[in-house]
Amino acid sequence: MRIRNIPLCAALVALSVAIVSAQEESKRAAEQRAPLTQMAVAFDSSSKPALEATLRTTSLNGAPDAPVMNIRVVVKNVSSSFLTYVSGLVTFYDSAGVRCGEGLFKVDALAQNESAETDAPGLRITCAPASWRIVATNLLPRAAEQTVLPPAESPSSSPGANFVISIDGEEHPIQLGKPMVLNVGEKQKTITVRAAP
Protein backbone atom coordinates (compact mmCIF):
# COMPACT_ATOMS: atom_id res chain seq x y z
CA MET A 1 0.00 0.00 0.00
CA ARG A 2 2.86 2.39 0.76
CA ILE A 3 4.42 1.70 -2.63
CA ARG A 4 1.21 2.86 -4.36
CA ASN A 5 1.23 6.12 -2.36
CA ILE A 6 4.71 7.11 -3.58
CA PRO A 7 3.64 7.83 -7.22
CA LEU A 8 0.57 9.65 -5.91
CA CYS A 9 2.72 11.84 -3.64
CA ALA A 10 5.19 12.49 -6.48
CA ALA A 11 2.34 13.57 -8.79
CA LEU A 12 0.94 15.84 -6.07
CA VAL A 13 4.36 17.49 -5.56
CA ALA A 14 4.81 17.98 -9.33
CA LEU A 15 1.36 19.55 -9.59
CA SER A 16 2.12 21.90 -6.69
CA VAL A 17 5.36 23.01 -8.34
CA ALA A 18 3.53 23.68 -11.62
CA ILE A 19 0.86 25.75 -9.85
CA VAL A 20 3.43 27.82 -7.95
CA SER A 21 5.47 28.50 -11.10
CA ALA A 22 2.31 29.55 -12.99
CA GLN A 23 1.47 31.99 -10.20
CA GLU A 24 5.00 33.41 -10.25
CA GLU A 25 4.77 33.86 -14.03
CA SER A 26 1.47 35.75 -13.73
CA LYS A 27 3.00 38.00 -11.06
CA ARG A 28 5.90 38.85 -13.38
CA ALA A 29 3.53 39.71 -16.26
CA ALA A 30 1.31 41.96 -14.14
CA GLU A 31 1.54 45.69 -14.66
CA GLN A 32 3.98 47.09 -12.13
CA ARG A 33 3.71 50.41 -10.37
CA ALA A 34 6.20 53.03 -11.44
CA PRO A 35 7.32 56.31 -9.87
CA LEU A 36 5.51 59.33 -11.37
CA THR A 37 8.63 60.45 -13.23
CA GLN A 38 9.11 57.07 -14.90
CA MET A 39 7.35 55.24 -17.69
CA ALA A 40 4.55 52.76 -16.92
CA VAL A 41 4.10 49.63 -19.07
CA ALA A 42 0.90 47.76 -19.93
CA PHE A 43 0.91 44.20 -21.26
CA ASP A 44 -1.26 42.43 -23.82
CA SER A 45 -3.06 39.12 -23.23
CA SER A 46 0.09 37.13 -24.01
CA SER A 47 2.11 39.03 -21.35
CA LYS A 48 4.11 41.02 -23.91
CA PRO A 49 4.57 44.79 -23.53
CA ALA A 50 1.88 46.55 -25.57
CA LEU A 51 1.84 50.14 -24.30
CA GLU A 52 4.26 52.50 -22.63
CA ALA A 53 2.97 55.66 -20.96
CA THR A 54 4.55 58.79 -19.51
CA LEU A 55 2.83 61.54 -17.56
CA ARG A 56 2.65 65.06 -19.00
CA THR A 57 0.82 66.53 -16.00
CA THR A 58 3.24 67.36 -13.21
CA SER A 59 0.95 68.93 -10.59
CA LEU A 60 -0.89 66.00 -9.06
CA ASN A 61 -1.37 67.11 -5.43
CA GLY A 62 -5.00 66.28 -4.81
CA ALA A 63 -7.05 66.15 -1.63
CA PRO A 64 -10.48 64.71 -0.80
CA ASP A 65 -12.01 68.20 -0.86
CA ALA A 66 -9.97 69.35 -3.92
CA PRO A 67 -9.24 66.33 -6.17
CA VAL A 68 -7.22 66.47 -9.38
CA MET A 69 -9.87 65.88 -12.03
CA ASN A 70 -7.83 65.21 -15.17
CA ILE A 71 -4.30 64.50 -16.39
CA ARG A 72 -2.41 64.38 -19.69
CA VAL A 73 -0.58 61.17 -20.57
CA VAL A 74 1.45 60.12 -23.63
CA VAL A 75 0.70 56.56 -24.73
CA LYS A 76 3.10 54.72 -27.07
CA ASN A 77 2.31 51.52 -29.00
CA VAL A 78 5.24 49.14 -28.47
CA SER A 79 3.42 46.07 -29.78
CA SER A 80 4.02 44.58 -33.21
CA SER A 81 0.50 45.45 -34.43
CA PHE A 82 -1.23 48.54 -35.72
CA LEU A 83 -3.93 49.23 -33.14
CA THR A 84 -7.16 50.83 -34.32
CA TYR A 85 -8.43 51.36 -30.76
CA VAL A 86 -6.67 51.42 -27.39
CA SER A 87 -8.24 51.97 -23.99
CA GLY A 88 -7.28 51.28 -20.44
CA LEU A 89 -7.04 52.38 -16.84
CA VAL A 90 -4.54 54.69 -15.25
CA THR A 91 -4.25 54.25 -11.48
CA PHE A 92 -2.44 56.35 -8.87
CA TYR A 93 -1.17 55.27 -5.43
CA ASP A 94 -0.04 57.24 -2.40
CA SER A 95 3.25 56.62 -0.58
CA ALA A 96 1.64 53.84 1.50
CA GLY A 97 0.53 52.00 -1.67
CA VAL A 98 -3.16 52.88 -1.25
CA ARG A 99 -5.04 53.60 -4.45
CA CYS A 100 -6.19 57.20 -4.49
CA GLY A 101 -7.22 57.79 -8.09
CA GLU A 102 -8.27 55.89 -11.18
CA GLY A 103 -9.46 56.98 -14.60
CA LEU A 104 -9.95 55.78 -18.14
CA PHE A 105 -7.93 56.71 -21.22
CA LYS A 106 -8.46 55.94 -24.90
CA VAL A 107 -6.63 56.47 -28.18
CA ASP A 108 -7.83 55.81 -31.72
CA ALA A 109 -5.52 54.46 -34.46
CA LEU A 110 -2.06 53.97 -32.98
CA ALA A 111 0.60 52.61 -35.34
CA GLN A 112 3.65 50.64 -34.23
CA ASN A 113 6.07 52.85 -32.26
CA GLU A 114 3.67 55.79 -32.53
CA SER A 115 2.86 57.97 -29.52
CA ALA A 116 -0.29 59.96 -28.84
CA GLU A 117 -1.18 62.37 -26.06
CA THR A 118 -4.53 61.82 -24.37
CA ASP A 119 -6.34 62.57 -21.13
CA ALA A 120 -8.19 60.59 -18.48
CA PRO A 121 -11.58 62.26 -18.00
CA GLY A 122 -13.49 61.26 -14.89
CA LEU A 123 -10.30 60.84 -12.89
CA ARG A 124 -10.31 61.94 -9.23
CA ILE A 125 -6.91 61.92 -7.51
CA THR A 126 -7.48 62.54 -3.80
CA CYS A 127 -3.85 62.39 -2.56
CA ALA A 128 -0.32 63.34 -3.48
CA PRO A 129 0.49 60.19 -5.49
CA ALA A 130 3.90 58.56 -5.34
CA SER A 131 3.43 55.87 -8.01
CA TRP A 132 1.15 54.94 -10.88
CA ARG A 133 0.42 52.17 -13.38
CA ILE A 134 -1.56 51.61 -16.55
CA VAL A 135 -3.58 48.58 -17.58
CA ALA A 136 -4.69 47.99 -21.15
CA THR A 137 -8.34 46.92 -21.25
CA ASN A 138 -8.83 47.05 -25.04
CA LEU A 139 -6.15 46.57 -27.69
CA LEU A 140 -7.96 46.26 -31.00
CA PRO A 141 -5.60 45.43 -33.89
CA ARG A 142 -6.41 46.33 -37.46
CA ALA A 143 -8.25 43.54 -39.28
CA ALA A 144 -6.10 41.35 -41.54
CA GLU A 145 -8.16 42.11 -44.63
CA GLN A 146 -7.44 45.80 -44.13
CA THR A 147 -3.69 45.37 -43.84
CA VAL A 148 -2.95 42.70 -46.45
CA LEU A 149 -3.50 44.03 -49.93
CA PRO A 150 -2.99 41.83 -52.98
CA PRO A 151 0.00 42.98 -54.97
CA ALA A 152 -1.15 45.29 -57.72
CA GLU A 153 -0.04 43.97 -61.08
CA SER A 154 1.01 46.85 -63.24
CA PRO A 155 1.60 46.57 -66.98
CA SER A 156 5.28 47.41 -66.50
CA SER A 157 5.74 44.53 -64.04
CA SER A 158 4.26 41.93 -66.37
CA PRO A 159 5.45 42.39 -69.96
CA GLY A 160 3.64 39.29 -71.25
CA ALA A 161 0.23 40.26 -69.85
CA ASN A 162 -2.73 40.10 -72.23
CA PHE A 163 -5.14 43.00 -72.56
CA VAL A 164 -8.32 43.51 -74.53
CA ILE A 165 -9.49 46.70 -76.23
CA SER A 166 -13.21 46.96 -76.79
CA ILE A 167 -14.27 49.22 -79.67
CA ASP A 168 -18.02 49.54 -80.18
CA GLY A 169 -18.50 46.16 -78.48
CA GLU A 170 -15.92 44.43 -80.66
CA GLU A 171 -13.04 43.06 -78.58
CA HIS A 172 -9.46 43.02 -79.85
CA PRO A 173 -6.70 41.25 -77.86
CA ILE A 174 -3.41 43.13 -77.53
CA GLN A 175 -0.07 42.64 -75.79
CA LEU A 176 2.38 45.21 -74.54
CA GLY A 177 4.89 46.27 -77.18
CA LYS A 178 3.22 44.27 -79.96
CA PRO A 179 1.43 46.34 -82.61
CA MET A 180 -2.18 45.69 -83.50
CA VAL A 181 -3.71 46.77 -86.81
CA LEU A 182 -7.33 47.96 -86.83
CA ASN A 183 -9.52 48.95 -89.74
CA VAL A 184 -11.04 52.32 -88.96
CA GLY A 185 -13.34 53.32 -91.81
CA GLU A 186 -11.32 52.87 -94.98
CA LYS A 187 -7.95 53.31 -93.24
CA GLN A 188 -5.81 50.88 -91.30
CA LYS A 189 -4.52 52.15 -87.94
CA THR A 190 -1.61 50.58 -86.06
CA ILE A 191 -1.92 50.71 -82.26
CA THR A 192 0.96 49.88 -79.91
CA VAL A 193 0.49 49.82 -76.13
CA ARG A 194 3.58 50.53 -74.02
CA ALA A 195 4.26 51.09 -70.33
CA ALA A 196 4.85 54.72 -69.43
CA PRO A 197 8.48 55.54 -68.49
Q: Does residue 86 come out as left (phi exceeding 0), alpha (psi in the -120 to 50 range) or beta?
A: beta
Q: pLDDT tens, 183-192?
A: 777 877 777 7
Pick the CATH number of 32-145 from 3.30.70, 2.60.120, 2.60.40, 1.10.150: 2.60.40
C-alpha to C-alpha distance for 110 and 115, rounded to whole angstroms: 7
Q: Are the C-beta atoms of residues 176 and 194 closer than 8 Å to each other?
A: yes
Res 109: pLDDT: 87
CA pseudo-torsion sign 106, 86, 53, 148 = negative
**Segment holding 29, helix H or strand E:** helix 2-29
CA pseudo-torsion sign 84, 89, 92, 97 = negative
Residue 113 pLDDT greater than 90, yes or no = yes
What is the separation of C-alpha 16 from the centre of its chain, rounded to a whole number of angstroms? 36
Q: pLDDT tens, 51-73?
A: 999 999 888 888 999 999 989 99
Res 136: pLDDT: 93
First to last CA, the chain: 89
C-alpha to C-alpha distance for 87 and 39, rounded to whole angstroms: 17
Please state whether the predicted TM-score (pTM) of the whole model is above 0.85. no
Torsion, Cα of 49, 36, 90, 110 (10° steps) = -50
Q: Where are the domains of the chain?
A: 32-145, 155-191
